[in-house]
């Protein structure tokens, strides 16, 4: 995957999420798949936190040639950072921060040869810049799918016998 192809998806995620969630009621944006699972609201808060503390700091860490491990990422920080914010607030924050992140990627003037540069993940060990960028894209797509699945499951019982045709309602294994 090239840097341009990475940017193609990363720029679309805020737009896709706004289309899915902007103006929705709590019925949709606070729905979960059950105890211990995240709502669309929680997922957007998680994406906001990632824009602040994960992707660009790690990318810059690699580009700077730092030999130490990345700062660990708090995967649940959204539960306290999002308090008191509406889904509209979070979507706006995410769009703004993602725009800044894309600007930072472009400003670095990365080349395809930079994709082989390495950094140290605190749990996974050596990773490349290319892997980081690919993971960023897949992370976005994973959470878009999670939001769609969670929203679909709100109506699991309401679809009646059509459930047999709706694989999105099946639990992940």
- Residue-wise DSSP of 74-109: -TTTHHHHTTT--HHHHHHHHHHHHHHHHHHHHHTT
Domain spans, the chain: 3-169
How far is it, in rounded angstroms, from Cα 76 to Cα 85?
16
Q: What is the CATH number of domain 3-169?
A: 1.20.120.450
Phi, then psi, of 67 in degrees rounded to 5: -90, -20
Read off the pLDDT of each residue in 123-134 and give the average, rounded to a whole number: 97
Q: 150-173 pLDDT, tens per residue?
A: 999 999 999 999 999 999 998 766
Structure tokens at 151: 């929203």
- pLDDT 10s digits, 99-121: 999 999 999 999 999 999 999 99
Surface-to-core class of residue 149, CB atoms within 10 Å of its CB (0-12 exposed, 13-18 middle, 19+ buried): middle
């Amino acid at each position: 995957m090239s840097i341009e192809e990475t940017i193609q998806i990363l720029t679309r995620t805020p737009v896709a999420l706004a289309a899915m969630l902007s103006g929705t009621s709590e019925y949709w944006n606070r729905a979960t798949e059950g105890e211990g699972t995240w709502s669309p609201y929680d997922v957007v808060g998680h994406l906001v936190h990632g824009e602040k503390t994960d992707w660009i700091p790690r990318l810059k860490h690699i580009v700077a040639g730092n030999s130490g491990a990345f700062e660990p990422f708090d995967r649940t920080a959204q539960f306290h950072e999002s308090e008191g914010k509406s889904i509209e607030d979070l979507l706006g924050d995410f769009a703004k921060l993602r725009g800044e992140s894309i600007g930072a990627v472009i400003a670095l003037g990365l080349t395809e040869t930079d994709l082989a540069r390495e950094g140290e993940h605190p749990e996974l060990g050596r990773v490349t810049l290319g892997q980081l960028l690919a993971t960023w894209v897949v992370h976005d797509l994973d959470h878009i799918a999670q939001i769609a699945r969670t929203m679909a499951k709100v109506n699991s019982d309401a679809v009646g016998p059509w459930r047999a045709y709706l694989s999105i309602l099946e639990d992940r294994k």
